[in-house]
Amino acid sequence: MQYLFLIYGNEQAMLSAPKETAEKTMAAYAAYTDAMTKAGVLVGGNRLRPTSSASSVRVNNGKPQVLDGPYAEIKEQLAGYYLVDVPDLDAALSWAARCPGAERGTIEVRPVWPRGE
Amino acid sequence: MADNGQARETAERIARRHYGKLVAFLAARTGDVAGAEDALSDAFAAALLDWPKSGVPQIPEAWLLTAARRRIIDMNRRKATGEKGASHLELIARELRALEINADRTQIPDERLRLMFACAHPAIDPAIRAPLILQTVLGFDAVAIGSAFLISPAAMGKRLVRAKSKIGQARIPFRIPERTEMHERLDSVLEAIYAVFAEGWSEPTGTDVRRREWTEEGIWLGRLVISLLPDEPEALGLLALMLYAESRRRARRSPDGRYVPLQEQDTALWDEALIDEAETLLRKASAIQMTGRYQLEAALQSAHVVRRKTGRADWAAIERIYDALFAVTGSPVVAVNRAVALAQTRGAAAWLKALDALAKEEKLADYQPYWAARADLFAQLGNISAAGEAYCRAIGLERDSAVRAFLQEQQAALSVLAKKT
C-alpha cells in the first residue's frame, strides 16, 4: 500500500535559518532518505523549491488561467514529499514520525488511491 | 408458526451473541468494516427466511459466515474493475473460502480485540472511538449511540461512516499493538469501554432495557480485554471499577425508586461475589506496580466497600487516593470529591477551604456534585440561605429525576433546620 508524505513547514523560518542549522537539517534528511531506501519502502520523493517559485493553473471557460504563487496561502507551506510503500497505516505513521520535518512542521500522511478501485 | 418464532428467536440470539465476533473476523480479512456489517445484516435476514423452513443449522455461526462471505464476494465483484481489483478480489475469495472450511470444524478465532484496537487507533477522531466500538463490536445502531452521546442520529451516522471508510482506505491495521505502544493504544480502548459502561450506569433503575444492557456490555468488553491481556494493570483496574459499581446496583435506589447516596446504602444489598472478584482483580493489578487512573478509581471503591465489614468507609485512604488521582488527572471534578473526603477526615473548616479554592473553576459551574457539596457544607455550617441557593443550582443541573428528587428533599429539610436554630 502506498502513502504520500506531504511535508509542511514554515518556509520563511527554513529559508532564514543559519547555514549551520540548514546543513544539519539536510544531513538529517539524507540519513532519513537513506534509511527508507535501505528498508525498501521508498518509492520516490523530492524537496520542493519555495512557494515564491510556484505557479497555479486552472481552466476557466476553456481558457487556462495562470496565477503566480501557490494554491493556498497558509501558515505552513508544502516543502517536499515522499512516496512510500508499506503494509499498513501504522508502518506509514512510524516512518512519517521519523521525518526530520516532523519536528518543526507537520507531515500529512495520505493513502494513495489504488488504480482500478 | 411456533417454529418460525423459534427460528427468529434463535437468529436474534445468535445475532446478539456473535455479531461482533463475525464482524471482526470478516473485517480483519477484508479491511472493510462497513462491508462486513452489510454482509452480516444480509446474512441474518437470509437466516430468518431459511431457518424456519430448513431448521436451525448445526453450527449457526458457520452458516452465517458462509452467507456473509458470498455477499462480500458479490459486492466486491460489482465494485472491482480492472486487473488489480480482480486479483485483490481473488485473494479475498480464497481466504474467505478457507475460513469457511475451517468454520465447520474449528472455532472461529475471536478477533474482536483487534477490531477494538482498529476503532481506537490514534488516526481515528478520539470523539468517535467509543461510538465506533459500540457499533462494530456490539452492533448498536446510530440512533441508540446518538442519543447516548447527545448527537443527532444523522450526524452520528455520518461520523461513523467516515471513520469506517478511513479504517479501510488508510488501511488501519487490525492488530494488537506492540508492548512499546500498548500504553497509549490501550488507553483509548479502555476509555471507550468505560464510556459504554458509564452510559448504562446513568440509567440506574433498569427501566430502560437497552441502557441496562450497556453496563453488561461494558463489563463483558472489560472481561474480553482481560482474557487476552491478563497482565495489563489498567485493564484489570477498569474491570474492578466496573464490578464494584455493578455490585451496588440494587442498593442505589430504594424499593420505591428513590435515590440512596453511597454512604447510606444498605450493605446487605451489595453483591458480595462481585465485590470479591473486584478485590481480587485490584490486588492483581497493584502487584504489577504501575498505577493509573482506573486502578485509583477502583481503589476508591474498595475503600468505600470496606464499610460492609467495619461499618465505616476508610476515609483516610479515600483522601490519599484522591490526592493521587488529582496528581494524575488534575481534574477539578476530582478536587470536589477530594474536598468531600476532607470533610470526613479533617472537618468542615478544611472542607470549606478546599471548596473555596475551586470557586473560580469554570468547569464546575455546571457540575452538579460541586453545588450539592457546597449546599451540604453550608447546611452543616448553619448558613441556610447559602445552602438553599446551592441546592437550587444543583437541582437545576441534574438530569436523573431520582437524584433531583433527593436534592429537593435535602433542600426542603433546610427549613426544618432553620426552625430549629
Query: Are residues A88 and B83, on separate chains, in Cβ contact within 8 Å?
Result: no
**pLDDT given for residue B159 in this prediction:** 93
A93, part of any domain: yes
Q: What is the ipTM of this complex?
A: 0.79
Is pLDDT at B1 greater than 60 in this prediction?
no
B290-345 confidence digits (pLDDT tens): 889 999 999 999 999 999 989 999 999 999 999 999 998 888 889 988 998 888 88
Q: Please give the Cα distance from B82 to B85 (Å, whole number).
A: 6
**pLDDT given for residue B2 in this prediction:** 47
Q: Please give the Cα distance from A104 to A92 (Å, whole number).
A: 19
pLDDT higher for A115 or B406? Answer: B406
For an interface test with B, give the residue of A86, A90, A94, A109 to mutate (most B CBs within 10 A). Answer: A90
A11-34 confidence digits (pLDDT tens): 999 999 999 999 999 999 999 999
Phi, psi (5° rounding) for residue A5? -95, 120
CATH number at residue A97: 3.30.70.1060
Per DSSP, helices labelled H in B358-400 are 368-381, 384-397
B358 pLDDT band (50/70/90 cuts)? confident
Phi, psi (5° rounding) for residue A78? -70, 120
A84, part of any domain: yes
Grid cell in block for residue A8: 509542511
Is pLDDT at B60 greater than 90 in this prediction?
no
Q: At what angle do helices B126-138 and B153-169 cross, to 10 degrees?
A: 90
**pLDDT given for residue B270 in this prediction:** 94
| Number of domains within chain A | 1
Query: Are residues A89 and B172, on separate chains, in Cβ contact within 8 Å?
Result: yes
B264 touches chain A (CB under 8 A): no
A74-108 confidence digits (pLDDT tens): 889 999 999 999 999 999 999 999 999 999 899 99
What's the whole-number mean pLDDT along residues B175-185?
83
A72, part of any domain: yes
For an interface test with B, give the residue of A88, A108, A109 to mutate (most B CBs within 10 A). Answer: A88
Q: Which helix (H) or strand (E) holds A78?
A: strand A77-85
B104 pLDDT band (50/70/90 cuts)? low
Residues in A closer than 8 angstroms to B174, CB to CB, are none
Half-sphere exposure of B373 (CA within 13 A, CB side): 27
* Residue range of the domain that includes A73: 2-111
Nearest to B243 by CA among B282, B196, B192: B282
B62 pLDDT band (50/70/90 cuts)? confident
Nearest to B173 among A89, A109, A114 (CB): A89
Residue of A nearest to B122 (CA): A90
User: Is residue B302 within 8 Å of B286, Cβ to Cβ?
Assistant: no
For the residues of B150-165, what is the DSSP string, one character each?
Answer: TS-HHHHHHHHHHHHH
**pLDDT given for residue B415 in this prediction:** 81
Nearest to A116 among B83, B170, B172 (CB): B83
A32, part of any domain: yes
**pLDDT given for residue B127 in this prediction:** 86
A80, part of any domain: yes
B99 pLDDT band (50/70/90 cuts)? low
A116, part of any domain: no
Coil vs helix vs strand at A65 = strand
Phi, psi (5° rounding) for residue B161? -60, -45
Residue of A nearest to B88 (CA): A117
Grid cell in block for residue B204: 440506574
Coil vs helix vs strand at B173 = coil
Sketch the domain layout of chain B as residue ranges: 2-110, 111-165+183-229, 367-421
Nearest to B388 by CA among B417, B415, B411, B358: B411
A13, part of any domain: yes
Residue of A nearest to B123 (CA): A89
CA distance B169 to chain A (A): 7
A64, part of any domain: yes
With a pLDDT cut of 70, the percent of chain B lying above it is 88
For residue B131, count other CB atoms closer than 10 A to its CB.
26
